[in-house]
Structure 1
Amino acid sequence: MGADWSLAAGTLDVASALERLDLLADPVAASVRQLDDARIGATEIDPDLADTAAFCEKYGSPLELSANCVVVAGKRAGEVRYAACVVLATTRADVNGVVKRRLDVRKASFAPMDDAVELTSMEYGGITPFGLPADWPILIDPEVAKSPAVVVGSGVRRSKLITPGEVLTQLPNAEVLDGLGR
C-alpha cells in the first residue's frame, strides 16, 4: 500500500525511504528499516533550506502539512526527563501545560540545542520522531496523526521524510496527545 506524497511534496521528487537510506541519519535509517513501511518517502533538499518556513516557500510544500519535532526536557527529583513533541508547523507545542503534565515535571522547556543533537545523534534542524532514544515518549498532536501526508525531518538537514501521520503513531513510545499543538 503506497502513500500519496504529492500532497506535501510540492515540487520535490520523493522516493521510498527504504530505497534512499543514504539520505537519513543512522538512527533514522535504522528506524525506517525496522518499520519496513513503503509509505515513508524521502527527498533530498538544499540543507540551507531545512528550516520549515524556508523549506515550504522554496519547494511549495504546504505549511499545514509540515510538522516540527522538538525535544523537550524537564526535571523531577534531579532526574532529567526528555520527550519529543510533534506538532504541525502552524502550531506550537504546549510545553508548559500539556507536556509538563505528561512528563510529570515542575517545569518543562525546549532542550538545549547541544543536548538535543548529542542525545538524538541527529543534526539540529533535522530532528525527527524516527530513531529517537528508546526511552523517550514521542508526543504527537492529533492533527499530525490524522494527516494523509506530513513532512518531517530525516535526522540531517539535506533531506526530508514524507509520511502519513498514522505511521508516526506506530513508532515505539508514540502517544497521540490532545491539546499538544496550540
Structure 2
Amino acid sequence: MTTWTIAGTLTVEPAAQHTDLLAEPVAKALAALADRDAVGVAAIDAELADTAAFCEAYSSPLTASANCVVVAGKRSGEVRYAAALVLATTRADVNGVIKRRLDVRKASFAPMDEAVSLTGMEYGGITPVGLPADWPILIDKAVAEAPELVIGSGIRGSKLFIPGPVAAALPGAEVIDGLAR
C-alpha cells in the first residue's frame, strides 16, 4: 500500500477496493486502469470538498491539490469540451492554450448543470478519471510531474490520491507545458 505524505489527517485506502467512495464513471474507469493500484481514496466531509476548505481541515498541502475544470467552446455550431487539470495554486489558461487546443473562437468554463450532466459526477468533485472518452484531458506539466496529488473522486464526499505520472497516462490525456499560469 502506498504511503501518502500529502494525506494530512486522512486515512487513504486503495481506491479500487472502495468504489463506494467514487462516482460510477470514476469506478468504471479506475477498473480499466493499468496503474489502478497506485490510486488511493479517502472519505471526507462533503461540506469540505472545496480545495481551500479541504486543505485547511485535513492538513493537506494546497501545493499538492489539483483542480479539474470542464471547458466548453463552439466552432461551426458544434460544442467542444475538454477537461483541464491544473495545480490548485495556478489557473488554467482557458482563453489562450485551451481555446487554441479546442480550435474555438472563445472558450469558457462549462455551466455547472451541463458539466454535472455530461460527466455523471458531482460539481466540486469532477475528476479527470472517468470523463467522456471523446474529451481531451489537458494536464499541466507541473501536475504530470508531481509525485503525489489530491484530486476529485466524482463525488464531494471523498478525494482521490494519485501520482502525477498516473494522471498523465489517463486515456485521452495530453500533457501541456504552460497550460496553467
Instruction: Compute the TM-score of the two structures, normalised by the length of structure 2.
Output: 0.98
* Stretches of structure 2 lacking an aligned partner (at least 5 in a row): none
Which residue is equivalent to 1:16?
Answer: 14
The one-letter code sitting in structure 2 at the alignment partner of 1:30 is K
The one-letter code sitting in structure 2 at the alignment partner of 1:27 is P
Which residue is equivalent to 1:53?
Answer: 52
Name the Cα RMSD after superposition. 0.8
The one-letter code sitting in structure 2 at the alignment partner of 1:14 is V
The one-letter code sitting in structure 2 at the alignment partner of 1:96 is N
Give the superposition deviation at 1:3: 3.6
Question: Residues 53-88 of structure 1, C-alpha deviation per residue, up to 9 Å, x if partnerless?
Answer: 000000000001000000000000100000000000
Which residue is equivalent to 1:80?
Answer: 79
Are the counterparts in 2 of residues 4 and 149 from structure 1 also a CA contact under 8 Å?
no
Which residue is equivalent to 2:26?
Answer: 28
| Match status 1:175 vs 2:170 | no
Are the counterparts in 2 of residues 126 and 157 from structure 1 also a CA contact under 8 Å?
yes
* Stretches of structure 1 lacking an aligned partner (at least 5 in a row): none
Are the counterparts in 2 of residues 147 and 164 from structure 1 also a CA contact under 8 Å?
yes
Give the superposition deviation at 1:168: 0.8
User: Identity rate of aligned residues, in percent?
Assistant: 68
Question: Residues 17-76 of structure 1, C-alpha deviation per residue, up to 9 Å, x if partnerless?
Answer: 011111000000001111152110000000000000000000000001000000000000
Instruction: Measure the CA separation in 2 of the matches of 1:164 and 1:52.
Output: 18
Are the counterparts in 2 of residues 139 and 175 from structure 1 also a CA contact under 8 Å?
yes
Which residue is equivalent to 2:161?
Answer: 162
Which residue is equivalent to 1:141?
Answer: 140
Instruction: Measure the CA separation in 2 of the matches of 1:89 and 1:122.
Output: 19
Which residue is equivalent to 1:92?
Answer: 91
Which residue is equivalent to 1:114?
Answer: 113
Aligned pairs, number: 180
Give the SS at the match of 1:64: helix
Instruction: Compute the TM-score of the two structures, normalised by the length of structure 1.
Output: 0.97
The one-letter code sitting in structure 1 at the alignment partner of 2:151 is V
Runs of 4+ with deviation above 6 angstroms: none
